[in-house]
A and B are shown apart, each in its own frame.
Chain A
């Protein structure tokens, strides 16, 4: 590997003999495709050199050739553990550019979906931290719950992992009674499982000894490396996009931003645990106060009309044709919209020159930005802690490589 060659010449000059270890590109413990060339002194990591880009799919370039509604499936594949947040974040970016007023009911439904997605994202991350410390039971147990959420997605949009949920302007259909039933079922069952999982790990002596003090980062470093999301909050900064610049009516809900102190693996674990509880509370509030009204805004140029209208209504037919062919034009403008994704501030920087496709679309991908601190975080730690640090940062290859 080329990366190995970059470090290797140093060997001859040094008196001490170091060993070089390729962690990845494909290794079950890295949960994705990244390579790290570790320079090791026994079991201790002296230096590391990450290589990324193994699953780069040129999303920003692809987006310059696609009409706006066709970009939604691209966003699915960024952070595929919480695809609906990406989808809805993108829809809101376009709505901001168009200046569309979104009905309150749509905003609340979006909040429900986004919080469900946040729960799946965090539960995978926390369950995997358990696996990497040797506790497989919790992982299998929690994965069953993810299945329940995926069934909810399936009921709403028909897809499970890469959801492509909703449309510009709202949802393709209102939530069916069965979907509500499944959400109620999840809200009833999940808190019990979550607390059981919590009692398995959070005060477990072995788990605590293993995670406290491992892979820590200070507040100053975290901010300088532009950390956001749970990783920044674990270091002690209460920055959350949902509160700092509320979108989709998040200002209506009561919730707490959990913060940690040391920014180590244990704090990140605990922050995510608490965020799942807060998400459950937000979903309950949204369901309790769910307003009546339409499930989509009036944006005929972007919102695909119903099939019966297409067959019976001239305007609907025209709009249907234009949307499917990608011939709708948007106003000129430049917007930045950010949402609180599973890993932090997920931003969409969009420039429109008035054409059918974006002139430029840049994704602010939290993973890409905080993963560069990884070599610094694992320097001086044991190899097993490096694995744990990576899984607790929740590095998602799709988001990292775009």
Chain B
């Protein structure tokens, strides 16, 4: 994305949400903005309706767990199909109290994506119409994609993975 287009997106956000942007960078070929968590849905809604941006397509949404910082990132990828611009927004939540607002008010597609994020990371999306587990069994008590849950049972003694790291 060219520098002019990046400035434009930043200025559109600053128009209404001054001081919400924490950091804006190019990651490989993808423009990424980290914003404060409180007004994320309003910012996305603003980018949706503003004539200069019109990010009206939600490509994907997912969580990322950073155990050292004890934080969970929720990543939103937006797309403007007319100008073919893509934008990634990130918010940082505390892993102990991962609560944010739901995006289903803007995009219907966010429904299952948020359920999946809840299912695997335990992020609570306030106002979601049906926030329950989607891929895992309902009886599950953990959020399995968090880094503290290992892939295999660590109490097993019959497998020595010291050499091969698996």
Contacts and interface: CB of A to CB of B under 8 A. Distances in A.
Interface of A: 2, 52-53, 56, 58, 60-62, 64-66, 96-97, 221, 223-226, 237, 239, 244-245, 325-327, 333-336, 338, 345, 347, 349, 351, 356, 359-360, 362, 364, 368-369, 371-373, 401-402
Given A244-B81, A333-B28, A349 B164 contact: no
Contacts, number: 96
Interface string B103-120: 000011101110010001
Interface string B81-100: 10010101000000000000
Interface stretch (B2-10, B11-19, B36-44, B56-64): B56-64
B151 interface: yes
Contacts of B65: 360
A291 to B, nearest CB: 25
Contact of B145 (A61, A223, A245): A61
Most buried by B among A96, A326, A351, A369: A369
B64 A360 contact: yes
A172 to B, nearest CB: 23
B60 A61 contact: no
Interface residues of B, number: 39
Given A224-B108, A225-B108, A402-B135, A369 B113 contact: yes
A2 B30 CA distance: 42
A146 B32 CA distance: 42
B144 A61 contact: yes
A312 B65 CA distance: 45
B111 A372 contact: yes
B82 to A, nearest CB: 10
B138 interface: yes
A362 B81 CA distance: 22
B14 to A, nearest CB: 24
A74 B60 CA distance: 20
Nearest to B88: A336
Contact of B60 (A60, A327, A335, A347): A347
A355 B27 CA distance: 18
25 contacts: A53-B135, A53-B136, A58-B151, A60-B145, A61-B145, A64-B151, A65-B166, A66-B166, A226-B58, A226-B59, A244-B84, A325-B165, A327-B165, A333-B27, A334-B28, A334-B30, A335-B29, A336-B30, A345-B59, A347-B59, A347-B60, A349-B75, A362-B60, A368-B116, A369-B109
B77 interface: yes
Contacts of A244: 81, 84
A360 B120 CA distance: 13
Contacts of B59: 226, 338, 345, 347, 364
A226 B81 CA distance: 11
Contact of A239 (B32, B77, B81): B81
Nearest to A335: B28
B134 interface: yes
Contacts of A373: 108
Contacts of A338: 59
Nearest to B77: A336
A58 B111 CA distance: 20
A210 B111 CA distance: 31
Contacts of A401: 135
B84 A245 contact: yes
A347 B61 CA distance: 11
A326 B166 contact: yes
Nearest to A63: B151
Nearest to A336: B30
A335 B75 CA distance: 13
A278 B165 CA distance: 46
Most buried by A among B64, B107, B112: B112
A53 B134 contact: yes
Interface string B137-159: 11000001100000100000000
A141 B38 CA distance: 57
Contacts of B108: 221, 224-225, 372-373
Given A336-B86, A362-B62, 14 more contacts: A52-B134, A61-B144, A61-B145, A62-B151, A65-B151, A223-B56, A244-B84, A334-B30, A335-B27, A335-B28, A336-B77, A336-B88, A338-B59, A402-B135
